[in-house]
Amino acid sequence: MTQRLVVIGNGMAGARTVEEILARNGDFTVTMFGDEPYGNYNRIMLSNLLAGVETEEGIFLNDLSWYQENGITLNAGVKIARIDKDSKIVIAEDGSATPYDKLIIATGSYSWTPPMKNVHNPKRGYHQGVFAFRTLDDTRGMIRYARDHERAVVIGGGLLGLEAARGLQNHVSHVTLLHAMGHLMERQLDPKAGAMLQASVEGKLGIEVVTNAMTTEILGKDRVTGVKLADGRVIDCDVVVIAAGIRPNTEMVANSGLPVERGIVVDDQMRVEGEQDIYSVGECAQHRGNLYGLVAPLWDQAKVLADHITGTTEVAYTGSKLHTKLKVAGIDVASMGLIAPEHDTDEVVVYNEPKKGVYKQLIIRDDVLVGAVLVGDNSKAASLIQAFDRGTPLPEERAGLIFDLGGAVEESAEDMPDDAQVCNCNGVSKGAICGAVADGCKTVSGVMDKTRAGKGCGTCKPLVQRIVEWANGGAAEEDPAASWYVPGVPMPKPELMAAIRKYELKSVSSVFDTLVPGAQHDAKSKMGLASLLKMMWADEYVDERDARFINDRVHGNIQRDGTFSVVPQMKGGVTTPAQLRKIAEVAEKYDVPMVKLTGGQRIDLLGVPKEKLPAMWADLDMPSGYAYAKSFRTVKTCVGSDFCRFGVGDSTALGIALEERYQGLEGPGKMKLAVTGCPRNCAEAYVKDLGVVAIDGGRWEIYVGGAAGAHIRKGDLLTTVDSPEEVIRLTGRFLQYYRENANWLERTYSFVPRIGVDRIREIVVEDSDGIAAALDAAVEEAVQAYKDPWKERAEPATPGQFRTSLPLTVLPQVPVRS
Amino acid sequence: MTISAIEKTVIGSIDDIPLGEGRTFTVEDEMIAVFRLRDGSLRAVSAVCPHKGGPLADGQIDNRVVVCPLHLFSWDLATGCSQSGQPPITVYPVRVDGDLIVLGE
């Protein structure tokens, strides 16, 4: 039966809770009461409104039409005077009574005014020229008044006070910030960070800051002329803004006989203590002794309340870990957990660069982050907040926690404008990502599928994740498929491989038929599965043409216009005049629009129509280099010892030997290698999936996990060996270990740090797990199973295999037969 | 969902399209990609990807979707609706008649 839900409070908490209830199809007729005569708006954005970077329109979360569309009766500007819990009605100040079956109290907070003389005018509330900073009306009044005045004082050096000071600079020429405590933001920052922030606020923004400043009196009779401090100092001003803190709005609730301590006392289901049908959420609610004044906990509470009220029984709010990450008056500040160590054993990591205004402090207990303060640089805030929230063990390299060590700089999701391009491959903006979230995609992978963001080179994935989390209000929903190897088969890699072995599944279709509920095939999983099966079964793999990507079906690399490129094999980058001549002749004969050297030291014949491929391959009569698929690609080499003055090892010969042996090897990601003949590194071996560097004394260093593509990473030294044979053997063993253990599309630059190079060394070099022989045997089997795929070039494997799929040329019309 | 009315046309033999693949045909100046699903049935959609003009007939399919080979945007083969934020593609009626592929109602 439809129940009557009444919500007192139309702010962020009240409206959000109603949104959550609507999203769960709760069967309610909803009536809302709000003090303010508006729909609900984002109070956090009032600072931006004051600063002139946001319009009033832009801060509304739900305008009045939202209430209409959702059948909500909104009583805006109507204040509730009393709750009669026995009769289950709420009585408004205008005398009207509204019955409820369920009641939610979300009355939020009011701006607290510290005791000081002359702050109120007996006739009209605040003294003219004195403003609180809490509501849209406060902000409007402040802007109107400040416009005609010169000097402003802001009382309160917390977040809000700083924001107010920054915003007021837009309207008056001089702003002084008074803070009663010893340093700014003392609840979030330690004294050093507070001092650093103060220096930035003064130096960069030109806001005068006075700490230990207890304001005792507003001076001036008809208009404000200044404020007086406890120590007798007088600060001249004509506008005063009070931002000294907030207090929960609980008076009416307490007067109605409900339990109120610091806030309205609620249990883990957000029920008011002792009440079955009355709930409270947001800043006015006191949960397990805590009051929350930030938006993220409020959203968690709204979810729990909505779940509970719509019938989910097993749901509880257990409190929130508090963290903030924001620009305070234009300066990056982040804070979470402890601001000072509590135990002797707490590890404190501090970085302090006063000249730049950068300060970072971490407090670590038992390898877990229990507190962090960042000022002046928030680039690592997102990952620290994640580590703090989840309590995950921290990496040994603490420096990486506070600096970007060669990685991409983390942009703040919140600070980016809507039209900022996030995915530079597929041209996806922050707005498009947020739009997908708003349309109901709550998981990172869901948003990536929907928008294609992060589906190009993949470097933007962490940013996409942060934006999705931000758009979701702090955390994206867990995607159950996140741990699956491919999206269409509900199993992580080890389980999937075990099942494939158990049922002896040797073709892609048999995997779908056996392991997917409903035997549903999935086009997007085929490539990953084909690669996995080929790795597992070598020559026993049952090749199905529809499991092949187009490149594998026609043995060319598809280009943006639907043509293909032909890349003759050129092992180690070495060729002969005869080969060059032949390539040139073929290129001329087939009118190849572009002949290009590739990054992998090969010749690329670009722009070949599909239908010309077989004839071209026949004329070339050279094997193709692997220029496609997730497979072993090339081995780049330098000149080496034969000709180079500095070469200490024959990199060319070793590169050719490696390429010859491991050609065509498929894996979860591309495998690009290089061998360089001396540490001058002309072949760029330090930034390859596996790079080999000749060093003096006939020895070879092997690096793994390097990258110089979308990601740049210097490989980790795996080991140093004495002979080329040893390099070839360990290369195969490492690649096989990677093939068996990496996630689909996980390149070595992610895989190696994930497993850890020390662990990989134990397994691959020292054989700590006793699997080295098995790895060697598996890679040997794969090598033996290699077949030159270009053998089928003369004889199409399927009808129309090489027929064009694009209107590059006008196709003959199909005759119409009736 | 866009379904195009097209005159009934026999466009070739079912053997022209291997199971699980697609081929392009031109009918009445329209480029149409016809796919033969693993269950033997056919689907026909406009042949050019609305994203960057990729050849959909070269895409990978299952029984529901086709994935463009260029940037892996995907469409529902029955409705033409994009699954990845792109405009819809046109769906054409197609069926098997004996061993012939018949396009249009």
Local confidence band at A409 (pLDDT 50, 70, 90 cut-offs): very low
pLDDT, tens digit, 9 for 90 and up, residues A299-339: 889 999 999 999 887 889 998 888 887 777 778 888 888 88
CATH assignment of the domain containing B48: 2.102.10.10
Residue B74's closest CA among A398, A533, A289, B65?
B65
> B67: which chain A residues are within 8 Å (Cβ-Cβ)?
523-524
pLDDT computed for residue A118 by the predictor:
86
Higher-confidence position of A473 and A4: A4
Contact A558 B66 (CB under 8 A): no
Q: Nearest C-alpha of chain B: how many angstroms from A817?
A: 6
Q: Does B82 touch chain A (CB under 8 A)?
A: no
pLDDT over 90 percentage in chain A? 51
The partner residue sitting opposite B10, judged by closest CB among A426, A436, A817, is A817
Contact predicate A741/A685, CB 8 Å:
no
Q: What is the pLDDT of residues B15-36, one digit of tens each?
A: 888 888 899 888 877 889 999 9
Contact A381, A374 (CB under 8 A): yes
Partner-chain contact A455 B71, CB within 8 Å: yes
For A122-181, what is each residue's pLDDT tens digit?
665 567 789 999 999 999 999 999 888 999 999 999 888 998 999 999 899 999 999 999
Backbone angles phi, psi at B43, to 5 degrees: -135, 145
> Higher pLDDT residue, A818 or B44?
B44
**Interface test mutation site (partner B, options A805, A808, A810, A818, max chain B beta carbons within 10 A):** A805
- Structure confidence by residue, pLDDT tens digits, A680-719: 899 999 999 999 999 988 999 999 999 988 778 899 999 9
Domain boundaries, chain A: 3-108+249-310, 112-247, 323-402, 421-478, 482-548, 549-624+788-813, 630-787
Pick from A521, A549, A813: CB nearest B26: A813
ipTM: 0.91
Cα of A446 to nearest chain B Cα, Å: 10
Per-residue pLDDT, A81: 95
The tens digit of pLDDT for each residue in A752-798 reads 988 889 999 999 999 999 999 999 999 999 999 887 776 655 566 66
Reported as type and span, the H/E element at residue A174 is strand A174-178
pTM of the model: 0.60
pLDDT, averaged across chain A = 88
Cα A615 to Cα A478: distance, rounded to the nearest angstrom: 51
Which residues make beta-bridge pairs with A92? A80
Report the C-alpha dihedral over residues A709, A713, A714, A716, rounded to 10 degrees: -120
pLDDT at A58: 81
Report the pLDDT value the prediction gives residue A597, as an integer from 0 to 100: 93
Find the mean pLDDT for residues A205-231.
91
DSSP of A645-682, one letter per residue? SS--S-HHHHHHHHHHHHTT-B-SS-EEEEEESSTT-T
CATH assignment of A630-787? 3.30.413.10
Those of residues 25-44 in B touching chain A at CB distance below 8 A are 25-27, 31, 33, 38
Residue positions of A in the annotated binding site for siroheme?
682
Q: Which of A327, A321, A323 has its CA nearest to residue A378?
A: A327
d(CA A469, CA A98): 38
A553 vs B contacts (CB less than 8 Å): 21, 58
Please provide the CATH number assigned to the domain covering A323-402: 3.30.390.30
A733 in Cβ contact with A757 (< 8 Å) = no
CATH ID of A112-247, from 3.90.1200.10, 3.50.50.60, 2.40.10.480, 2.30.30.60: 3.50.50.60
Q: What is the 3-state secondary structure (H, E, C) of A33-94?
A: EECCCCCEECHHHHHHHHHCCCCCHHHEEECHHHHHHCCCEEEECCCEEEEECCCCEEEECC
What is the pLDDT at residue B3?
A: 58
CATH number of the domain at A3-108+249-310, out of 3.50.50.60, 3.40.50.1970, 3.90.1150.10, 3.20.20.70? 3.50.50.60
User: A546 and B56: CB-CB below 8 Å?
Assistant: no
Q: What span, in angstroms and rounded, lies between the C-alpha atoms of A33 and A49?
A: 25
Domain count, chain B: 1
CB contact under 8 A, B60 and A811: no
Q: Starting from the edge strand earliest in sequence, which strands make up the sheet with A564-566, in order? A: A557-558, A564-566, A603-608, A594-597
CATH code linked to domain A421-478: 1.10.10.1100
Q: Provide the domain limits for residue B43.
A: 2-103
Matching fold, domains A323-402 and A630-787: no
Question: What is the model's pLDDT at position A723?
Answer: 95
Write out the two tokens for A583.
């390539």
Give the minimum alpha-carbon distance from B92 to chain A in angstroms, rounded to a whole number.
16
Question: Could you identify the residue written with the tokens 């963001």?
Answer: A453
A-chain residues near B71 (CB < 8 A)? 426, 452, 455-456
